[in-house]
Amino acid sequence: MQKFRIPSLSGLKLGLFGIFLLSLVPLTAQEQLGRPLITNYKYQEYDAAPINWWALEDDNGIMYFANQAGPLQFDGVNWRFIDINGSSRSMAKDDMGTIYIGGGGDFGYLTPSETGEMEYVSLMDKIPEEHRVFADVWEIDNYKGRVIFRTEFKLYAWDGENMKVIESEQGYHVGAIVNDVYFLRIWDRGLCYLTEEDTFELVPGGDQFASERIYSMLPYDDKVLIGTRTQGFFLYDGKTFTPFKTEIDEEIQGLLYLPGIALDDGRYVFNTFGDGAYLMGHNGEFIQKYTSENGLQDGSATYTYLDSRGVL
C-alpha cells in the first residue's frame, strides 16, 4: 500500500498492488510541483494479499481495505485482518456508519463483537434462496435508504429488513451515484439510470456506450464527467454528451480504471491499470502524474479514495 500527499485542498487514498497514501496541497499558478510525499505499505507489512480493490474510512477515522485475501483494518499504526471466509472486493458505508463488504459469492456487514473488535456478519440468509448463487460483488452503493450490491447480472437492494433482487439479461458493468442519480452502464444497452420503480432506463444518448466501457462518472459543476476506456471524456448535461478534450487523453487511453476522484477544489484524480494516477485540472489540464518514477511501488492503481484527513 502506498501513502502520499498531492498538491490539493484535501487528501486521497489510492489502493493498488500494495497501498500508498498521498497528501494534496493547494498550489498557486506560480508554484512548482515537486516530488510527491508518498508512503508505501508493502503486502508483507500488512500480511495479506498484494492486491487491494477498495478503500473506505469509518466514522471514527479507521481505514478499511478490500484486500484480495479479505478485509484489512488500519488505525494508522496497526493492521488487522478481518476473516470473512473468503476474498473481499468492494465496500460501502450506509447513513448509520455501518460498513458493508462484498466478496466472492457473499456479502454482509461489519459489527463490533463483545470485545469491541469488528467482525463480519453475512447477509446470505436474507437473500431469496433462488438468488443465492453469484460470483463477485463488484460494487456497493448506499442509495436512498438502501444498500445496493452489484453482481454481474443481479442487484441486491437491502433496506435493513428486506432484500430485493433486480435482475438483468444484459450484464451490469459499472455504476455510480452522481447528483443523486444512480447511473449504471449495462452491456449492449448503454448508460442507464435507476427509476423509482427499480427498472433501468437509458439516459438520452446513452446507447452510444452500449459497447464502450465507462470507468469514471464524477460530478462536474452541474454536469456529469464521463470517463471511457477508449473514447476519452464526455460532459453530460442530462440531454447531451459533449466530448471533453483533456491533456491526459492520449496517456490514459485504454488504461482508465474506476472510480477516479473529484476534489473539492475542482481538480480530479484518475487512476489507471499500469500507468499510475493522474492529477488533472478542472479544464482538463495536466498537473501531475504519480508512478513508480516518483514514489509508487508500481503503476497499477486499482482504486482511489479521499479520506477526511486529506490523504489520497
The Cα 81–Cα 215 span in angstroms is 29
Kindly report whether the peptide bond that precedes residue 112 is cis, defined as omega within 30 degrees of 0: no
Mean pLDDT value across the chain: 90
CATH number for region 2-305: 2.130.10.10
The Cα 248–Cα 291 span in angstroms is 14
> Rounded mean pLDDT of 117-121?
97
Query: Would you say residue 7 has pLDDT above 80?
Result: no
| pLDDT tens digits, 248-272 | 999 999 999 989 999 999 999 999 9
pLDDT, residue 310, reads 86
> Rounded mean pLDDT of 229-247?
97
pLDDT, residue 247, reads 98
The Cα 239–Cα 226 span in angstroms is 14
Domain boundaries, the chain: 2-305
Q: Look at the block and give the residue holding cell 508500481.
A: 298
pLDDT, residue 22, reads 62
> Rounded mean pLDDT of 163-183?
97
Would you place residue 2 in the very low, low, confident or very high pLDDT band (cuts 50, 70, 90)? very low
Instruction: Find how far residue 74's CA is from the centre of its chain.
Output: 18
